Each structure stands twice: as C-alpha cells, then as structure tokens.
Amino acid sequence: MALARTRSMALLGVEGHVIEVEAHLGEGPAGLTLVGLPDTALREARDRIRAAVVNSGECWPEGHITVSLSPASLPKRGSGFDLAIAAAVLAAAGAVPPSTLHPAVVLAELGLDGRTRAVQGVLPAVLAGVRSGHTTFVVSRGNAKEAALVPGITVVSVASLGELLAHLRGEPIDQELFGDPADPEDPAPAERDRRRRPDLADVLGQPVARRALEIAAAGAHHLMMVGPPGTGKSLLAERLPTILPRLTAEDSIEVTAVHSVAGTLPKGSPLIVEPPFCAPHHTATRAAIVGGGSTRLRPGCVSLAHRGALFLDEAPEFARGVLDSLRQPLETGEVVIARSASSVCFPARFLLIMAANPCPCGKSGPACTCSSTQRRRYLARLSGPLVDRVDLKVELQPVAHAELLADRPYAESSATVAARVTQARERAAHRLAGTPWSTNAEIPGAELRRHFPVAPPALSILAAAMERGDISARGVDRTLRVAWTLADLAGRPHPAVEDTAFAYALWSGRAQ
C-alpha cells in the first residue's frame, strides 16, 4: 500500500479554496474511486487520467486506487483537478518522489494524449492559494501568463503530464517554463491600439447629454437617457469607455479574476487594464444579467461590468423582473446567488447606463401616434425604485442639421474630456483617502452627510424640493454626490449653489 498527496484549488464564485488531493494505492479489483463531492465532469476524470497516463508512456498502477478530495464537504466542479489527481496517483505508485509533489498546487485539465489544457479561474485560484501560504503553482502553458500576474510566486507551466513528471524527477526539459508564444490570430497590443476607437467628438449636438456623460464618468454615477431614435443615445453610451480612467493595479486584478472565472479573458493579454463595457441584448434573462446557473454558478453581466459600465439599450424592453434584479447590486456593489448546495458572491460595482425611447413607436413630433397613456405605461416598465437609484436623467431631442454643423468646431474629443475626468477622480480620491471609497457614487448617504457636509445655502434648493415631496431622501443623497462631482470637475473644494442646482436638475430630468 502507498499514499501520496498534492494540492489543487476549488472555486466558489471568485473565492478559491485549497483542496488536498490524496491518492491511496491498495489491494482489490482494479479501478479508481473518487470521493469528496465531485461533480459529473470530475467523475469523468477517471477515464481521462488513465488514458493520459498510458499515452504519456507511464504504467497505470495495478490494484484499487482511492482518490480523496478534502475538505469532503466542499463541492468540487470542473476538470481542473485532472493533473493533480494524475500526479498523486503516479507518486503513490512510486513513479515520482512524493516529497517533490507535496508543496505544489496543481491546476490543469488533461487530454487523452497527456497534454495539459487551460482551465478557467486560475487567477482567483492562485490568489487564494497565496493567501493560504502556498508559493509554487503548476499550471498549463495556456494559463502561465495569467498565473504569473500574482507577484512573489513560482509558476511552473507544463505542456503535458510527461513534462511535469520530468520536472519532478529532476530530468532536463527542453521547453521553456513560461508560456507559448502569443496566438498569431490575436493582434499584438500595439496593433490593437492602432485601431480607431470611437470618439466623443463624433457625437454632435446634445450638449447636456455629453455633459451628463462626463459627470457620470467622473463620479461613477448612473445615467438614463430618454429620447427618440437617432438622437445619439447609443453613440454616447458606446463612447463612455473612452473617457473612463484606466483601472488601478488592484482593480485590474479584481476585474481580471471575474473574467477568468467566466472564461472571457482576451488571448495573449490576460490582464484587463481598461474598464469593461457590457451591453446585453434586451432579451437577456435574469441569470444572464445577475449571474446564476444550475450546476455551475457563473457571473452575469453586472459582474462582467465590474469597475466598468453596463449599458441597457432599449431598457423598457427588458423584462420587469430582470430590471428590478439590478436594485440590490446597484446599492451594495455585489450580487449574492444562493442555491440549495452553495451560495456565492460576485463583485458588481458598475456604472449603469440606460437608454429608452419615449414611447412604444419611437417616433418624435407629429409622427408619433402614441397616446399619453401609452407613453406613461411604456416608461412605467422602469420601476420607480430603479429609476430613483439613477443619479442622472437626461431627455434628448432631435438635432437639426444646422445645429450639427454649428456644433462641429466645439465638439470636444474623448481625450480632452478624459483629462478632466481623470483630474476630478484624483481630487475625489485625495478627499476620500483613508476611506473604503474612491469615487463619489460609492459614499454611503450617512457618511456623506456626516463627513462631507455641504454649506446651507447650497442645500436650500434640495430642502425646498423635499418640502414639496419632489425628491426622496435617497434622491437627496444621490444629488449631493453629483454636486461633489461637479465641484471636482470645476476644481472647487466644496459644492456651490450652482452645483447642487444643476445636480438636482439632472436627478429630476429637467436639465437644459
């Protein structure tokens, strides 16, 4: 009888858990038994691993093999345990010294020919492994660059089971340890940068909407645009990423971890440094938007847009339940998905952009045949509690040809606006230094009133609106956050009267 062990990682959402993989070779009928709550994909590993071992030129051990994945109470899913199980089995059989395998964390899928394949979620798995004190990680070539994003660790990338065994035996390996050359189909970063990106200068007219987009980017405020087709709603939303600041190093790792779990990392450049932009179709289900799944819980669009923007075009066409499911992540910055077997939490701190036509027909002026009742019912698909969570509301009107020509010399480029947005964010970050928040939209209402008070003259317009019942307490907090962003954009230390007045006009949808 022989026993060997190594380690692998299990993911629940973006949280990794160290799994001890133990292989026991004993007497009895030939076979391999997996214990420790494996799913279907993991149970199928028995046949994959046996074929991979044989095709790698190794002898499959005789007798009965028991593989335990502990802690046994934690569900294990996916094929990322293949290489760890194969290595533990061969170490138990004496093919490699068990002592060389024990310190490593092994993450890779095996093909029938013994080659390793990349798996999803390597970055959050490595981060969790480092927090547990592990420093050596064995991954496939396709995951090497992703794993190497974590500093202070040793990454051993292997192309096959045979290469791992040679490494454990101390035999020479001809291939390099880190990664394959970049995929020739994936353009180099310089080539991608040369591609023309959308520019805010392409949108002529709509000065209030362009200003609102700048405020949304500067303070991470949610924005809703209402107007007939052709007024520039989609054009403005699609240009939001061009004025958002690049992600910080910490945010880049956090965003990359979410996309690693979802399997949406770009080839050749696993680190995401630009704010993500997600624009689902209006037929998307609730699971697609907030995340879910039956066997494997996956992040939805709200998490894929984490630290970036989520654009809902034709927002009233989304199902009412889908829209209302956004209310919790808009408030908390995370989404919790509960199932009978487990519950996972995905980050979801995103900037929401909604665009809507004013009526079902979408026409403007005399061409519109919708009654006032139809118009109210159409926009009423966006529930009051959801709209109340939107800081900026702008109504767009059709732009005349003469106005387009006149506005061309004054339309600012994305680079010009992005510079102001970056300066405003730096002022906010300096003011919020030492707090858990980095943008004005993140500050809780109680903390905003307690630590960042506004002068009484600037509050007079909001007090009057509350007396009339035109604004809720939540609306006051959101208006004050926008006022602070306006002050940051103007370089003022505190919001002035004009800042709160314009912020209230944007919140109520009356800005001109």
Average pLDDT, the chain: 90
Q: What is the pLDDT of residue 421?
A: 97
Averaged pLDDT for residues 334-339: 88
CA atoms within 13 A on the CB side of 155: 25
Quick one: average pLDDT of 168-183? 57
**Rounded Cα distance, 198 and 215, in Å:** 19
Largest Cα span, the chain: 88
Q: How confident is the model at residue 173 (pLDDT cuts 50, 70, 90)?
A: low
**pLDDT score of 184:** 43
Q: Which residue has the higher pLDDT, 306 or 196?
A: 306
Question: What proportion of the chain, given as a percentage, has pLDDT over 90?
Answer: 70
Q: How high is the pLDDT of residue 103? A: 83
CB atoms within 10 A of CB 264: 14
Over residues 239-244, mean pLDDT: 96
Which residue pairs, CB below 8 angstroms and at least 24 apart, start in 320-324? 320/381, 320/383, 321/286, 322/284, 322/285, 322/286, 322/289, 323/381, 323/382, 323/383, 323/386, 324/383, 324/385, 324/386
Question: What is the third-level CATH fold of 200-402?
Answer: Rossmann fold (3.40.50)
Q: What is the pLDDT of residues 50-94, one digit of tens each?
A: 999 999 999 999 889 999 999 988 888 889 999 999 999 999 999
Assign 369 a pLDDT band (cuts: 50, 70, 90).
confident
What is the spatial distance between Cα 203 and Cα 235, in angstroms, rounded to a whole number? Answer: 7
What gap in Å lies between CA 496 and CA 507, rounded to an integer? 17
Q: For residue 215, is pLDDT > 90?
A: yes
Range of lowest pLDDT (33-47, 185-199, 443-457): 185-199
Number of Cβ within a 10 Å radius of residue 193: 9
Residue ranges of domains in the chain: 2-169, 200-402
CATH of 2-169, one of 2.60.40.420, 3.30.230.10, 2.130.10.10, 3.20.20.70: 3.30.230.10
DSSP one-letter code for 61: P
181: confidence class by pLDDT, cuts 50, 70, 90: very low
As a whole number, mean pLDDT of residues 442-454 equals: 92
